[in-house]
Amino acid sequence: MAECGALEASRIKQELLKNGRIVSVPVGKSMWPMLRNRKDQIVIKTVDCPLKRYDVPMYIYENNTERFYLHRIIKVRKDGRYVICGDNLWRKEYDVKDENIIGVLEGFFRGDRYIDCNTNVLYHGYVIFWRLIYPVRCILMLTRQYLGLIKSKLVKRK
């Protein structure tokens, strides 16, 4: 879930505090291929324990209270802060704190099928595989970005 607007963010926070869980639709491509933009449904629950590596928190980044993000924890630092990165991103976020986190992904619906992030073996296999190929994905994403930059400069010259 790349982001949600200010009204949506306010509603999400209120729902979480009131009910302890919300169901929403992810917006954006940062968690692709796990979550598809505006197609799947996500189930977010309130955080009731310290988060661990590979959890997917919903959080505010850099004190931007109007948008929440949903990305994967790839490392828990000794100072308690999290290193976070979307599954379809290569840039890591290094300064996410517990106070920025309002919930954590409990599971998601892919069509009619519910995938529980805590118990589904295939989900855990996906997470491990996706993290193992991170270096290769970085090279591919940077190459794609670089080629796009070259293409845009060539098109401007004509």
Indicate whether 34 pLDDT > 60.
yes
Q: Tell whether 15 is covered by a domain.
A: yes
pLDDT digits (tens, 9 = 90+) for 67-92: 889 999 999 999 999 999 999 998 99
Query: Hey, how many other C-beta atoms are within 10 angstroms of the C-beta on 105?
Result: 23
Task: Give domain status of residue 142, yes or no.
Answer: no
Domain that holds residue 22: 6-132
User: How many domains does the chain fold into?
Assistant: 1
With tokens 């590596």, the residue in question is 53
User: Is 146 among the domain residues?
Assistant: no
Cα distance between residue 129 and residue 31, in whole Å: 15
Any domain includes 156: no
Contact 27, 37 (CB under 8 A): yes
Could you read off the pLDDT of 93-116 as tens digits, one per residue? 998 999 889 999 999 999 999 999
Q: What is the pLDDT of residue 64?
A: 66
CATH number (domain holding residue 33): 2.10.109.10
Please determine, for residue 1, whether its predicted confidence score (pLDDT) is greater than 70: no
Angle value at C-alpha 30, between 25 and 31, nearest 5 degrees: 65
The answer to the question of residue 149 being in a domain is no
pLDDT in tens, 143-152: 988 898 888 8
Strand 69-70 relative to strand 57-59, pairing: antiparallel
48 within a domain of the structure (yes/no)? yes
Helix, strand, coil % in the chain, rounded to nearest 5: 35, 25, 40
Classify residue 123: in a domain, yes or no. yes
Query: pLDDT tens across 38-62, in order?
Result: 999 999 999 977 899 999 999 987 7
Report yes or no on 93 lying in a domain. Answer: yes
